[in-house]
Amino acid sequence: MPQTDAAAVALARDGDSEAFRALVERHSRAVYRLAYRMTGSAHDAEDVVQETFLKAYRQLARFESRANFGTWLHRIAVNCSIDLIRSRPHRETAHGDADLEQFGAVLESTDATGTSPERLMLSTEVQRRIGDAMSGLSRMERAAFMLRHFEGRSIDEISEALGLKTNATKHSIFRAVRKMRAALEPFVADA
C-alpha cells in the first residue's frame, strides 16, 4: 500500500486500482461523516460517498500533485452533497414559526434540569440535543447552515450553490440557528 496520498494518486492515475483502494480506505470515513452532516441521512451519505469517489477517480488527472488530496476530496464531497440536495424537491419555503414553537416545546418537555451545565456540556445529553435539533432542520436549512457554519461558505456562495435567493439562504440559516438556540441555550447560557 502506498505510504502517502500523493504516491497513491500517482499510481492510481496509471490504473493501479489497489492504490485507489488505499485512498478510499483512508478517506471514506471522513467523506461519509461530511456527507451525513450535510444530508442528515445515512442512505444519502452512502450515495454521496460513492459519487464522490467516482468523481475523484474520473478527475484524478486534474488533481494537482502539490495539493492535499483530502482537501480536494472534501471539496468534491461537498459539491456531491449539494447536487444531491438540489436534486430533491424541497417544499420548505413557506414555513411559519409554528414548527419552531413546536420544536421548542418538544425540547422543553425533555429538559434535563438540575444538572450542572459544565457536566452537561461534555455529556451525551448535549450531543443528543444537537442531533435532535439537526434532525429538526429542513433539508435546505441543514445544508445552508452546514455550509455556513462548518464549511465557511459565504451566504452568496451558498445561495448560488443551493439555487436559493440570498434572503432565502439567510432565512434558512436564521431558522437553523434559532432551532440550535432553542435546543442548546438552556445548557450553555450560564456556562
Partner 1 sequence: MHTPHLSEDELVLHYYGEADAGKDSGSAHLAGCEECRRSYTRLQRVLAAVDSMPAPELPDGFERSVWARLEPALPVRRRWRSWFVLSPASLAWAAAVVILVAGAFFAGRMTQQQPSRPAQASASAEQIREGVLLADLGEHLDRSQTMLVELVSSDLTTSKVDLTAERERAEDLVAANRLYRQTANATGDVALTQLLDELERLLVELATSPDDMSSEDMEGVQQRIAAEDLLFKVRMVSSAIRQRQKTESQVRSAAGRT
Where does this chain bind partner 1 (CB under 8 A)?
17, 20-21, 24-25, 28-29, 32-33, 36-37, 42, 45-47, 49-50, 53-54, 57-58, 87-88, 121, 126-127, 130-131, 134, 148-149, 154-155, 170, 173-174, 177-178, 180-181, 184-185, 187-189, 191
**Nearer to partner 1 by C-beta: 66 or 152?**
152
**Nearer to partner 1 by C-beta: 21 or 75?**
21
Q: Which three cell numbers stand for residue 171?
A: 432565512
Contact status, residue 155 vs residue 148, Cβ threshold 8 Å: yes
**Nearer to partner 1 by C-beta: 66 or 155?**
155
Least distance in angstroms from the C-beta of 94 to partner 1: 19
- CA nearest 19: which of 27, 31, 11, 30? 11
Measured between alpha carbons, how far is residue 50 from residues 11, 54, 70, 183, 186 in Å?
Answer: 21, 6, 16, 33, 39
> Amino acid letter at 161?
A
**Nearer to partner 1 by C-beta: 75 or 88?**
88
**Nearer to partner 1 by C-beta: 9 or 66?**
9
Q: Which three cell numbers stand for residue 17?
A: 486500482
Least distance in angstroms from the C-beta of 148 to partner 1: 6
**Nearer to partner 1 by C-beta: 7 or 30?**
30
Least distance in angstroms from the C-beta of 10 to partner 1: 17
Gap between the Cα atoms of 174 and 180, Å rounded: 10
Least distance in angstroms from the C-beta of 127 to partner 1: 4
Least distance in angstroms from the C-beta of 160 to partner 1: 15
Least distance in angstroms from the C-beta of 105 to partner 1: 19
